[in-house]
């Protein structure tokens, strides 16, 4: 073990000569939050104790107490048991295990650290999931004697679900297996085979001995075959700043601050993104707009704030907002709705069943919610999806959730803060589950509507026509296509669609308009405007367009279809070679001027979930054709389409 104290002397001199410089130096360092996880007795607490001890981050009286307790509670034959630095509960020391999540702070010249030591026992998996929810990196400990255990896989899978992008797999207790390279290589190979199914982009392996200190702070002389850097060096240098979301402004309102008649501000913690003075912002779910007037804290006023700063924001206009509402940038909004799919880590002894009513807490919002269906659960050993009649303690599964009031949310993959939630028992207030909101997958709707590719019934036999699509196209002398026009309400989609239909007909071609509002009055009359109902509406329009194409007829779809994923699903239903996405790019102000009454109703809340106002509209990333109806009339747009598509 190294006894190098040069950096301690350097800090001592700086403290003596320039205390303000010393404080500035440490204020400017970034923070890494990491989790230690794995199976029982893999050495998680020992590793943390070794990190603290070898990096000289233990007070003398604390060290003396640990040495004294090592004689009574220590699990090693040495005078010093590093695990006792983190196993602080009496029950933990008596049993030699970790029960609760233990947090420890330490710092080096390069970085500040918060360590979360998670328990390894399966019955305490809930504690591990709680601790991992705010970590940037996870250290997965594996006992070299036993290899990969079921709890190793469970913790790795939960870390992946919780969006931890960096895993460090430490094969521990190498001293007990005589520092065998073959054992290390085999365990690494086994883990890589399992981890291929995880959504983790960065996995780093290293052999260590937490008890002896090999490859923890200093490189091990006992394993010359390992050329990698020791653990602490890796932790000091791993890049995690780019993992944080500084693009999507999400500011959940926690409290309306009104100290006097002249001040009214909205207090909260910036969940993600950056908010600046003068920014155009929208209050969700109401859709009211204003500009940021000031950003203040107890000490001072700021020009900007970013996650995770706690600030109070004042607006130029007297808009209504309260706890649970969210401030966002006008052109970057989360989903607003009351239906979504999520992955759950179930933490209650009582099983979860479909139809269970709970309270859901997300950011500053607390709303009643119902688990409408259980889609499947995971076998943590194989990561296979299994049917689920219920979710037992520590089970992980996918569920469909309906909230009784609209919620502002992102997918967890996009934004960990606005994509996560907990489920709470209505009577006892006990936390029952941790949840991660998922991206919607094609055809998977909250009410188990048929998928785009697989019908709900398994007893359907599709019949094939004796007339091929090619024969129909030849008879009609045209190559049928689906022209999908998307844009804000009143952007001009329908006007362009009917003008295009007229032009094609005059040219002797056959085309049919599938107008969004007409579809809403007929085949989609049973659907509302939630995210999932919108998706089903798009699916029905796409399926109808495909049938028209197979009949040799061009389909012109005019639909807001606000979500990119829904439009991608429509393209997959129709067929990539036949589908053309047309973005009717009309500014919101122009759309408002065309129908002020409609937009006024939306802004006043008379029309709920109105795209571009109280619900998001996601502009196409790579539309095949973009039309600007602010400068080009509908007839000219239709002419442009006929020329482009001919």
The tens digit of pLDDT for each residue in 105-133 reads 778 878 888 888 766 555 555 566 666 76
Q: The sheet that has 511-515: what strands, in order across it?
A: 511-515, 554-558, 482-486, 579-584, 625-627
Kindly report, residue by residue over 129-145, the tens digit of the pLDDT.
666 767 888 899 999 99
Tokens of 552: 């040799």
Three-state DSSP string of 467-529: CCHHHHHHHHCCCCCEEEEECCCCCCHHHHHHHHHHHHHHCCCCEEEEEHHHHHHCCCCCCCC
Distance CA 224, CA 398 (A): 45
* pLDDT value of position 446: 34
Mean pLDDT score of the chain: 82
pTM above 0.85, yes or no: no
Q: What is the pLDDT of residue 461?
A: 59
More confident residue, 9 or 332: 332
State the pLDDT at residue 65.
57
Residue 560: the pLDDT is 93
Six-digit token string for 271: 């969940």
Domain boundaries, the chain: 6-242, 251-329, 335-437, 469-645
Are 400 and 376 in contact by the 8 Å Cβ rule? The answer is no
What whole-number distance in Å separates Cα of residue 409 and Cα of residue 326?
Answer: 10
pLDDT at 438 over 80: yes
Question: Across residues 426-443, what is the average pLDDT?
Answer: 78
The pLDDT of residue 89: 38
pLDDT of residue 18: 67
Task: Check pLDDT > 90 for residue 411.
Answer: no
Q: What is the pLDDT of residues 173-206, one digit of tens each?
A: 999 999 999 999 999 999 988 888 787 878 999 9
Whether 6-242 shares its CATH topology with 251-329 is answered no
Label residue 326 by pLDDT band (50, 70, 90). very high
Name the band, by pLDDT with cuts 50, 70 and 90, for residue 88: very low
Compute the distance between CA of residue 618 and CA of residue 614 in angstroms, rounded to an integer. Answer: 13
Measure the CA–CA gap between 573 and 218, rounded to whole angstroms: 57
CATH of 335-437, one of 3.40.50.10860, 2.170.190.11, 2.40.30.10, 2.40.10.350: 2.40.30.10
Give the model's pLDDT for residue 15.
57
Give the pLDDT band (50/70/90) at residue 86: low
According to DSSP, residue 292 is labeled E
Q: What is the pLDDT of residue 303?
A: 92
pLDDT value, residue 79? 56
Up-side HSE of residue 39: CA atoms within 13 Å toward CB? Answer: 14
Contact between 477 and 508 (Cβ < 8 Å): yes
* Helices 531-550, 469-476: crossing angle, 10 deg rounding: 70
Question: What is the mean pLDDT of the segment spanning 58-69?
Answer: 56
Instruction: Specify which of 35-49, 70-84, 427-441 reaches the highest per-range mean pLDDT.
Output: 427-441
pLDDT of residue 67: 56
Confidence band of 503 (pLDDT split at 50, 70, 90): very high
CATH superfamily of 469-645: P-loop containing nucleotide triphosphate hydrolases (3.40.50.300)
Q: What mean pLDDT is predicted for residues 143-166?
A: 86
Mean pLDDT score, 392-417: 88
Instruction: Answer whether residue 84 shows pLDDT above 70.
Output: no
Report CA torsion sign: 320, 256, 246, 137. negative
Average pLDDT over residues 376-396: 85
pLDDT class of 69 with cuts at 50, 70, 90: low
Q: What is the CATH number that goes with domain 251-329?
A: 2.40.30.10
User: Quick check: 512 pLDDT over 90?
Assistant: yes
Q: What is the pLDDT of residues 531-557, one digit of tens each?
A: 778 888 999 999 999 999 988 999 999
pLDDT band at 28 (very low <50, low <70, confident <90, very high): low
> What is the CATH class of 6-242?
alpha beta
Per-residue pLDDT tens digits for 329-376: 987 888 888 889 999 989 888 999 988 999 999 998 999 999 988 988
What are the tens digits of pLDDT across the range 258-299? 888 888 999 999 999 999 999 999 998 888 899 999 999 988
Average pLDDT estimate for 144-156? 87
């Amino acid at each position: 073990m190294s006894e190098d104290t040069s950096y301690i002397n350097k800090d001592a001199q700086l403290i003596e000569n320039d205390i303000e410089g010393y404080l500035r130096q440490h204020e400017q360092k970034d923070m890494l939050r990491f989790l230690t996880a794995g199976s029982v007795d893999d050495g998680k607490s020992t590793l943390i104790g070794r990190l603290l001890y070898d990096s000289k981050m233990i007070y003398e009286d604390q060290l003396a107490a640990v040495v004294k307790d090592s004689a009574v509670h220590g699990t090693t034959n040495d005078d010093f048991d590093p695990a006792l630095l983190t196993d602080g509960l009496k029950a933990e020391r008596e049993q030699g295990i970790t029960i609760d999540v233990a947090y420890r702070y330490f710092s080096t010249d390069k970085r500040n650290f918060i360590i979360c030591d998670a328990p390894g026992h399966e019955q305490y998996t809930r504690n591990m999931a709680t601790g991992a929810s705010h970590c940037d990196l996870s250290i997965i400990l594996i006992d070299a004697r036993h290899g990969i255990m079921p709890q190793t896989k469970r913790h790795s899978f939960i870390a992946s679900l919780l969006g931890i992008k960096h895993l460090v797999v430490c094969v521990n207790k190498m001293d007990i297996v005589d520092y065998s390279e073959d054992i290390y290589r085999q365990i690494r190979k086994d883990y890589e085979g399992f981890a291929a199914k995880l959504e983790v982009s960065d996995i780093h392996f290293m052999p260590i001995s937490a008890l002896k200190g090999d490859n923890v702070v200093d490189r091990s002389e006992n394993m010359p075959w390992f050329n990698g850097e020791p653990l602490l060096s890796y932790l000091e240098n791993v890049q995690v700043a780019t993992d944080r979301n500084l693009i999507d402004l999400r500011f959940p309102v926690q409290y309306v601050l009104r100290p006097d008649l002249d001040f009214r501000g909205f207090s909260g913690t910036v969940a993600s993104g950056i908010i600046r003075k003068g920014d155009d912002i929208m209050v969700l779910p109401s859709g009211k707009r204003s500009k940021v007037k000031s950003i203040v804290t107890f000490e001072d006023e700021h020009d900007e704030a970013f996650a995770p700063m706690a600030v109070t924001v004042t607006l130029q206009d007297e808009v209504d907002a309260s706890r649970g509402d969210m401030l966002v940038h006008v052109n970057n909004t989360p989903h607003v709705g009351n239906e979504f799919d999520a992955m759950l880590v179930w933490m209650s002894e009582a099983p979860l069943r479909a139809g269970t009513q709970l309270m859901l807490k997300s950011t500053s919002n607390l709303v009643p919610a119902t688990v409408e269906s259980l889609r499947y659960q995971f076998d943590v050993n194989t990561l296979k999806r299994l049917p689920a009649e219920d979710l037992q303690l520590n089970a992980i599964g996918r569920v469909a959730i309906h909230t009784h009031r609209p919620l502002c949310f992102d997918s967890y993959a996009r934004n960990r803060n606005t994509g996560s939630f907990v489920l709470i028992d209505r009577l006892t207030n006990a936390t029952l589950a941790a949840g991660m909101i998922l991206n919607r997958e094609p055809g998977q709707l909250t009410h188990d509507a048929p998928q785009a590719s697989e019908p709900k019934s398994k007893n359907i036999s599709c019949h094939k026509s004796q007339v091929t699509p090619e024969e129909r196209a030849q008879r009609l002398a045209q190559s049928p296509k689906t022209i999908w026009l998307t844009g804000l309400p009143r952007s001009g989609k329908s006007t362009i669609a009917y003008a295009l239909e007229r032009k094609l007909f005059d040219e002797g071609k056959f085309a049919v308009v599938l107008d969004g509002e007409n579809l809403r009055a007929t085949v989609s009359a049973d659907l509302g405007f939630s995210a999932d109902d919108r998706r089903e509406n798009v699916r029905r329009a796409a399926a109808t367009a495909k049938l028209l194409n197979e009949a040799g007829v061009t389909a012109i779809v005019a639909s807001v279809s606000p979500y990119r994923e829904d439009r991608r699903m429509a393209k997959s239903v129709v067929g990539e070679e036949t589908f053309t996405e047309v973005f009717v790019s009309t500014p919101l102000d122009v759309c408002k001027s065309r129908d002020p009454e409609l937009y006024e109703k939306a802004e006043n809340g008379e029309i709920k979930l109105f795209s571009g106002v109280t619900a998001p509209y996601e502009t196409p990333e790579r539309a095949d054709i973009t039309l600007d109806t602010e400068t080009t009339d509908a007839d000219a747009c239709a002419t442009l389409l006929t020329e482009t598509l001919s």
